[in-house]
Amino acid sequence: MKHSRSAIWIFLALSGVGVGCFSVVDNLYFHGKGYSTAVIGGLVAVFNISVAVAEIPAAIVFDRRSHWMAIQVGNLVRTAALILFFLSLGVAGDILAEALAGVGAAAMSGTSTAYVLNRLRSGGQAEQRRAMARIVWLGSASSLMGGLLGALLFTVAPRTIWLGGALCMAAAGAVFLIGRPRSEQRHDVATEPLRTYVRGLGALATHPRAWMSIFANAALVGPLILWQLRLGAGSLGAVILGFAVMKAAGVLGGRLIAGRRIPRATLFILAGVNAAAMCAFAASDTWAVIIAGFGVHVVSHVAISVYCSAQFQHVVPDNRRAGASSVVSLLGSGLTAMAAIAVGTLADRYSALAAITPSLLLYGLVVGIALASGIRSRHGATPPTSVRNEARDELLLD
């Protein structure tokens, strides 16, 4: 069991290196191929639509069968997508690769988190926050290593960033295969009827905490599409520095939340700081200000995202954890797809400042739900029932 626990963390680390290999310059790579910002936004939309289509079928199969198998299948499909990117077959090939990457992400979206959380010694919020923060900072640190490798590969031959990523994903899959657990931990929970399971996922999809997490995750799309293009006009060194700042900020944001009970007011402060940072990032033409604004945005975004995700996971039972995460990912992916198209179009027609408007609106919705939750708790209204049937106070923000 200890060996299998180590395997998931090594898998996540190697996967992070693989993601870093291409994510440091992927949009810059596409821009170099002649793709406009709108086309790049369209590719992001294809990925997210593919995730949305595949999410629930993958969750139903793998939540009721094997999280380990879900992770392996998702990793294999994602590796195939990276190889297709490396072959550089044109727009059609890149669209197909994005679609495959989305299917792979759908198979893995909730399962890697579920795999970790279901193996915790207890299900308390503090331990869950620590585990999720560890996933975040491990991903950030390993992606930073991969980003340095990817930047080197990019200077040698741009499309090798995809090959480097594919090799890392293959190595991660091999490690996870060797560390396969003898049996899945199901916590002695009998498999419930499919109709009951699906009805439970439907209830989760309407939970306020789910929508806080959905809006928070989708809000990243504006800066995510724009940051390489904003810094790439200067030099590759500025892009690498921006990537390093992003990953360091991701670690800081995860550590900021880990294991702490966060008052609701802190969420509002983080949202305000985030909005100001994004505006500075989008409005300035000075690369130092762009990087600083982007870094502050990432810190606050990760803190908000981890907080919202942990709040949601606390009301999810173990036997629906992957499915619950997939519901959030499905709805978030659909929302992100629409926002990505809007971001690309606004950037091409107007400005970077206009292009971050969808992200600002989404963060505003997170704040709106938190405010509504606070008003409800003060007036003693009964919140929506969770699938755990927790006490009423557990459904409110800490």
Stretch 227-250: mean pLDDT: 83
Among residues 334, 327, 350, 332, which one has the least CA distance to residue 45?
Answer: 334
Angstrom CA distances, 81 to 46, 59, 231, 330, stand at 13, 20, 27, 20
Contact (CB, 8 A) for 51 and 329? yes
For the record, the structure tokens of 89 come out as 């077959």
Does the pLDDT at position 146 exceed 80?
A: yes
**Which of the four pLDDT bands, split at 50, 70 and 90, describes residue 333?**
confident
Q: Supply the mean pLDDT for the chain.
A: 82
pLDDT score at 188: 43
**Which of the four pLDDT bands, split at 50, 70 and 90, describes residue 98?**
very high
If one compares 110 and 345, the residue with the highest pLDDT of the two is 345
Contact (CB, 8 A) for 131 and 12? no
Q: Choose from 85-99, 179-193, 328-342 the range with maximum mean pLDDT.
A: 85-99
For the record, the structure tokens of 94 come out as 């890149």
Residue 349 exposed, middle or buried by CB count within 10 Å (0-12, 13-18, 19+): exposed
Tell me the one-letter amino acid at 392.
Answer: R
DSSP character at residue 393: G
Share of the chain above pLDDT 90, in %: 41
Stretch 237-266: mean pLDDT: 76
Stretch 278-293: mean pLDDT: 92
Contact (CB, 8 A) for 39 and 344? yes
Q: What residue spans of the chain are helical by DSSP H?
A: 2-23, 26-32, 37-63, 67-87, 91-108, 111-117, 125-156, 160-178, 194-205, 208-218, 221-232, 236-257, 264-283, 287-313, 321-349, 352-355, 357-378
Q: What is the SS3 assignment for 172?
A: helix
**Which of the four pLDDT bands, split at 50, 70 and 90, describes residue 122?**
low
Least confident of 179-183, 275-279, 365-369: 179-183
Residue recorded with tokens 């590969």 = 153
Least confident of 61-70, 80-89, 303-312: 61-70
Does the pLDDT at position 4 exceed 80?
A: no
Does the pLDDT at position 164 exceed 90?
A: yes
Residue 121 exposed, middle or buried by CB count within 10 Å (0-12, 13-18, 19+): exposed
CA angle 331, 335, 339 (to 5 degrees): 165
Helix axes 357-378, 287-313, angle to 10 degrees: 40
**Which of the four pLDDT bands, split at 50, 70 and 90, describes residue 198?**
confident
Does the pLDDT at position 295 exceed 50?
A: yes
pLDDT score at 132: 73
For the record, the structure tokens of 324 come out as 């619950």
Does the pLDDT at position 5 exceed 70?
A: no
Q: How far apart are CA 243 and CA 193, in angstroms?
A: 46
CA 295 to chain centre: 17
Contacts of 298 (CB under 8 A, 6+ apart): 223, 245, 246, 249, 250, 253
Does the pLDDT at position 210 exceed 70?
A: yes
Among residues 239, 304, 233, which one has the least CA distance to residue 275?
Answer: 304
Among residues 171, 174, 169, 151, which one has the least CA distance to residue 161?
Answer: 151
Does the pLDDT at position 258 exceed 80?
A: no
Handedness of CA 338, 343, 346, 348 (dihedral sign): negative
pLDDT score at 64: 65
Q: What is the SS3 assignment for 80?
A: helix
Stretch 291-319: mean pLDDT: 84
Using only the alpha carbons of the chain, give its radius of gyration: 20
Q: How far apart are CA 311 and CA 313, in angstroms?
A: 6
Q: How many residues does the chain have?
A: 398
Residue pLDDT, tens place only, 18-58: 999 999 999 999 999 999 999 999 999 999 889 888 877 77
Contact (CB, 8 A) for 187 and 40? no
Stretch 351-367: mean pLDDT: 94
pLDDT score at 121: 57
pLDDT score at 110: 63
CA angle 362, 365, 367 (to 5 degrees): 115
Among residues 98, 82, 113, 85, which one has the least CA distance to residue 11?
Answer: 113
Does the pLDDT at position 189 exceed 90?
A: no
pLDDT score at 7: 83
Domains of the chain, CATH where assigned: 2-179+197-395 (1.20.1250.20)
**Which of the four pLDDT bands, split at 50, 70 and 90, describes residue 273?**
very high
